[in-house]
Amino acid sequence: MSIFVDETTTVVIQGVSPTSQGLYHGLRNRDYGTKVVAGTNPRRGGEVIEGIPVFASVKEAVEATGATASFISVPPPHAAAAIEEAAEAGISFVVCITEGIPAQDEARTYNRLVQEFPRTRLLGPNCPGIISPGKCNIGITSGDIAMPGGPVGIVSRSGTLTYQALHELSQQGVGQTTCVGIGGDPVPGTNFIDCLAAFEADPDTRAVMMIGEIGGSEEERAAEYIAANLTKPVVSYVAGVTAPPGRKMGHAGAIVSGSQGTAQAKMDALSAAGVTVALNPTEAGERMVEIVKALP
């Protein structure tokens, strides 16, 4: 099985035009086998671009095609409104890869989804998306580095390390059920615990790889959840051991303040929860391969 998306997921690309990033990545997703059924653009409703029917709104797209997921890569000033439009149209899974959305907009939109549209799950913003190998790919992850067949689920804050985790496992012949890039912004729509709970409930996911980074306390919260709820082995790597305090590193949420959010503190919390903590991404892959080989 997989989590959040599978071979039945149907996708609408929001903000599609002949030169848009949404179209570029949406076509790559379609080539992978993802069911891309529609696009939206208020100025191009009624057109067909690269075989994709374009509608003026998400609501019209959903009514015409029954789309269940949306892919958003519109510019930051318009991304929050695009997320809310998808939720209002009844989309159940929204993937937003847009980087640079103002934190105030993220917080307002996240709270509105929680309060008014609890059936809509947002992945991102500022994330690489999600791939269930051999079934569905929404976002910018290359399908070439993923391997279907399980048994490992991957969740990562870092986009680049998401790709490396996939590659490390695939190179060793270890497949993945789903790989979720949750993004590194301060207000993620989907967090570690959401993914860990879904992987715990998925019978085909038998082990989990979790990639964290400096900043915030999501990894510590995940460690508490793992200790109390997970029955499956977890391997983790936390990026940023050498990052200086008070300096943002990469993502908007990757900032260390005093003793809060350091890589070492996160690693200690995860180790205490029984997680196998690696010192680099390659070692994380190696430890996971050892665990998979030992699975009954």
Per-residue model confidence (pLDDT) at position 263: 86
* Same domain for 118 and 146: no
Q: What is the reported pTM?
A: 0.94
Residues 160 and 279 in one domain: yes
Residues 19 and 117 in one domain: yes
The CATH number linked to 246 is 3.40.50.261
In a domain, 133, yes or no: no
**Higher per-residue confidence, 181 vs 216:** 181
pLDDT band at 243 (very low <50, low <70, confident <90, very high): low
Question: Which tokens hold the place of 21?
Answer: 């990033």
- pLDDT exceeds 80 at position 254: no
Domain-ending residue, one of 57, 89, 123: 123
- Is residue 172 domain-shared with residue 92, that is, in the same domain? no
Give the whole-angstrom CA distance, residue 3 versus residue 153. 9
Q: What is the pLDDT of residue 227?
A: 98
Out of 33-42, 151-160, 192-201, 237-246, which region has the weakest mean confidence (pLDDT)? 237-246
pLDDT of residue 257: 47
Regarding whether 272 and 229 lie in a shared domain, the answer is yes
Residue 216 belongs to a domain = yes
Write out pLDDT tens, residues 171-198.
999 999 999 999 988 899 999 999 999 9
Percent of the chain with pLDDT over 90: 86
pLDDT in tens, 123-168: 999 999 999 999 999 999 999 999 999 899 999 998 899 999 999 9
DSSP code per residue over 177-222? EEEEE--SSSS-SS-HHHHHHHHHH-TT--EEEEEEESSSSHHHHH
Count of domains for the chain: 2
Candidate list 25, 78, 167, 251, residue with the active-site label: 251
Range of the domain at 226: 142-294
pLDDT at 80 over 90: yes
Residue 281 lies in a domain: yes
| 107 and 152 belong to one structural domain | no
Neighbours of 255 (CB within 10 A): 19
Residue 2 covered by a domain: no
115 and 229 assigned to the same domain? no
| Cross-strand bridge partners of residue 208 | 153, 234
Average pLDDT, the chain: 93
Q: Both 284 and 161 in a single domain? A: yes
User: Catalytic annotation on 251?
Assistant: yes
